[in-house]
Chain A
Amino acid sequence: MSDILDLTAGQALDRIAAGELSNEEYFDAYAEAAAGDELGAYLWRAQAGSANGAGDGPLRGAPVAVKDIFCTEGIETTAGSRILEGYRPPYTATAVRKLAEAGGRVLGKTNMDEFAMGSSNENSAYGPVRNPWDRERVPGGSSGGSAAAVAGRLAPWAIGTDTGGSIRQPASLCGVVGFKPTYGAISRYGMIAFASSLDQCGPLTRDVMDAAILLRALEGRDPCDSTSVGIEGGVELPSRTDLKGLRIGVPRELSADAEGIETGVTEVFERTLGLIADLGAEVDECELPHSAHGLSAYYVLAPAEASANLSRYDGVRYGLRAGSEDGTAETALVSMYERTRAAGFGAEVKRRIMLGTYALSSGYYEAYYGRAQRVRTKIAEDFAAAFERFDYLVTPTSPTVAFKLGARAENPLAMYMSDYCTVPMPLAGLPAISIPAGLAQPDGGGPDLPVGLQITSPAFTESGLLGAAFAIEGAIGFDARPGGTG
């Protein structure tokens, strides 16, 4: 049984194909593991024995954990918010439907920061998620439940969403692989909207091969999402073992000069650069001059889009409606809206709605939203210039290792800094993957915790990016595991 949980999903699929493992046995091993979740990773779990059907297709009946931001027909979908408590969507998100069509089965719905707004999973209305490496620490966010479930062997793999780092940063903090594909690679239909020009679905997995297998099932154009285009030529499974002939750029602004970067993170990153050079790549410094302004642009654009997207939660069509006081007829409807949103949204969501509404309000629009959109252009141009010289760019994924629960909860800006290295890529729409690069102690001492390496490539070059990540993963040989998860 523990033997089954030790397999990567790719290895398990091979065993199922060879008749050495039944898909029911595989599903039930994880359903039982998930039933014993002590990390707070799940909000809903499938029962053991509930896997039925042949489990055809490339995923062969394998269980997949799904972030609670994806609509699942008949299964409660809350996006981590009180305002959607009890909501059972009448339809299933395209990403989840495609997993099912490929033979995957939903193992559970994973905990997350409310509406994907957060970097620690502490903004969930349903309680925090604990990091399996140290339960006093956060798993990162917003896909914290998905990352913790995969790292804690409560799921073989999972899907999440990334708007400013919500797949890559928790993957980094939990020591797993997290991949945000190019904007448009995977349909957003049925994925509860946070910031529509940035949101993208992607896999969180044990290794790069598993990420490629899941991405293969997920990508594709969807008539229900007119911004989806899929990945031309599909996704090749990675096999690269060297980086000969490749030029790898190291943007100073997002590595050595990154704000708040920890010593241990820098050490692991520099060691990894040595391994990349040993694989035959030409490694050189480069510049992304506007990336230091990425966070500023992001924390205007994402809240602005969110303030519009979240206007739909008004107590009329789904979820919570706050009881009306004895308001006069004149104010009854508006006061119902205001009370429902006051009762249903948590502090961070309110903060972002306020920030976004302010940035879009009359007289401030050009100063905030207009400027942020122009910074976005400059950031995309920086990447384009860097990719004239380099095939891939590498940075640390997170400036720090996992921090303690509560450490940044009272300081929104400190929390936002968690996304320093991950925000520029979605602003430019680019694919980026985080892979475990080693362990390091936090500044000031503490346990050894995972450090992620982020690799970025030009739009729609997923196969190449996965190949490079696969080669680097092989050279790193990360085999550490979280203790104390039983």
Chain B
Amino acid sequence: MIDRDQVLHVARLARLELTEDELERMAGELSTILDHVERMNELDLDGVEPTSHVVALENVLRPDNPRPSWPREQVLESGPDPEGGAFRVPSPQA
């Protein structure tokens, strides 16, 4: 119920390169899982409010007090290709 082309489309959305082998396997595995998940369709959920968060909280505010952030060098150290105080990436443009 989810075919190879759909898997390929979703993989592109997820920025995930899949091998031919992974594509085939993923189609089967996702179909099995989605079959199970679709048992939810047995339920009558008309008029039921969706829950996105379980603790009743709204607009958690704090005073806007400036404070130092982490040292730039330390943060850059974690990146694979720091350069000139920034993260260098391959060109996004044609």
Interface residues of A (CB under 8 A from B): 87-91, 182-184, 197, 223, 226-227, 229, 290, 293, 295-297, 299-300, 307, 311, 314-321, 324, 327-330, 332-339, 341-342, 345, 350-351, 353-355, 357-358, 361, 368, 370-378, 380, 412-413, 416, 427-429, 459
CA distance A292 to B29 in the complex (A): 21
Q: Which of B36, B41, B51 contacts A373 (CB 8 A)?
A: B51
Closest residue of chain B to A352, judged by CB?
B33
- Interface contact tally, CB-CB below 8 A: 171
**CB of B11, distance to nearest CB on chain A (Å):** 7
Question: A318-B79, A332-B91 given. 15 additional CB < 8 A pairs?
Answer: A90-B71, A227-B53, A317-B79, A319-B80, A321-B81, A329-B91, A333-B91, A342-B17, A353-B16, A358-B2, A358-B34, A370-B50, A374-B50, A374-B51, A429-B55
CA distance A307 to B50 in the complex (A): 20
Q: Which of B14, B49, B51, B87 contacts A317 (CB 8 A)?
A: B87
Q: Number of contact residues on B: which range applies? A: 35 or more
Residues of A within 8 A of B62 (CB): 223
Ordered by A's residue number, 8 sampled pairs between the chains whose C-beta atoms are within 8 Å are A87-B78, A290-B43, A341-B15, A351-B26, A354-B30, A376-B51, A429-B54, A459-B54
Q: Which of A91, A380, A416 contacts B51 (CB 8 A)?
A: A380
Contact between chains at A375 and B13 (CB < 8 Å) = no
Which B residues, 47 to 62, have Cβ-Cβ distances below 8 Å to chain A? 48-55, 57, 60, 62
Supposing A374-B50, A429-B54 touch, asked if A357 and B14 sit within 8 A by C-beta, the answer is yes
Chain A CB within 8 A of B84 CB: no
**CB of A427, distance to nearest CB on chain B (Å):** 8
Contact between chains at A376 and B50 (CB < 8 Å) = yes
**CB of B61, distance to nearest CB on chain A (Å):** 9
Supposing A226-B57, A337-B15 touch, asked if A296 and B48 sit within 8 A by C-beta, the answer is no
CA distance A88 to B51 in the complex (A): 36
Contact between chains at B87 and A90 (CB < 8 Å) = no
Closest residue of chain B to A295, judged by CB?
B36
Residues of B within 8 A of A375 (CB): 40, 43, 45
Closest residue of chain A to B88, judged by CB?
A316
Q: Which of A88, A358, A377 contacts B77 (CB 8 A)?
A: A88
**CB of A419, distance to nearest CB on chain B (Å):** 13
Of B30, B33, B38, B51, which is in contact with the most chain A CB atoms at under 10 Å from its CB?
Answer: B51
CA distance A376 to B34 in the complex (A): 17
**CB of A55, distance to nearest CB on chain B (Å):** 28
Residues of B within 8 A of A182 (CB): 55
**CB of A189, distance to nearest CB on chain B (Å):** 13
Contact between chains at A296 and B15 (CB < 8 Å) = no
CA distance A412 to B92 in the complex (A): 36
**CB of A420, distance to nearest CB on chain B (Å):** 12
Contact between chains at B50 and A333 (CB < 8 Å) = no
Supposing A315-B80, A338-B17 touch, asked if A412 and B29 sit within 8 A by C-beta, the answer is yes
Q: Which of A88, A290, A300, A377 contacts B49 (CB 8 A)?
A: A377
Q: Chain B: interface secondary structure? A: loop
CA distance A139 to B37 in the complex (A): 26
**CB of B23, distance to nearest CB on chain A (Å):** 10
Closest residue of chain B to A366, judged by CB?
B50
Contact between chains at A373 and B52 (CB < 8 Å) = yes
**CB of B42, distance to nearest CB on chain A (Å):** 8
CA distance A319 to B81 in the complex (A): 10
Residues of B within 8 A of A459 (CB): 54-55
Question: 3 closest pairs, A vs B, by CB?
Answer: A429-B54, A373-B50, A332-B90
Contact between chains at A413 and B32 (CB < 8 Å) = yes
Residues of B within 8 A of A318 (CB): 78-80
Closest residue of chain A to B11, judged by CB?
A354
Closest residue of chain B to A369, judged by CB?
B50
Contact between chains at A342 and B16 (CB < 8 Å) = yes
**CB of B51, distance to nearest CB on chain A (Å):** 4
CA distance A197 to B39 in the complex (A): 23
**CB of A72, distance to nearest CB on chain B (Å):** 13
CA distance A229 to B55 in the complex (A): 9
Which B residues, 67 to 89, have Cβ-Cβ distances below 8 Å to chain A? 70-71, 74-75, 77-81, 87, 89
Contact between chains at B55 and A227 (CB < 8 Å) = yes
Closest residue of chain B to A356, judged by CB?
B14
Residues of A within 8 A of B92 (CB): 332-334
Closest residue of chain B to A314, judged by CB?
B15
Residues of A within 8 A of B13 (CB): 357, 361
Contact between chains at B37 and A377 (CB < 8 Å) = no
CA distance A90 to B43 in the complex (A): 47
Residues of A within 8 A of B32 (CB): 412-413
**CB of B31, distance to nearest CB on chain A (Å):** 11
Closest residue of chain A to B76, judged by CB?
A317
Contact between chains at B45 and A428 (CB < 8 Å) = no
Contact between chains at B10 and A354 (CB < 8 Å) = yes
Contact between chains at A338 and B49 (CB < 8 Å) = no
Residues of B within 8 A of A91 (CB): 70
Contact between chains at A412 and B15 (CB < 8 Å) = no
Chain A CB within 8 A of B20 CB: no
CA distance A413 to B50 in the complex (A): 25
Closest residue of chain A to B80, judged by CB?
A321
Contact between chains at B81 and A357 (CB < 8 Å) = no
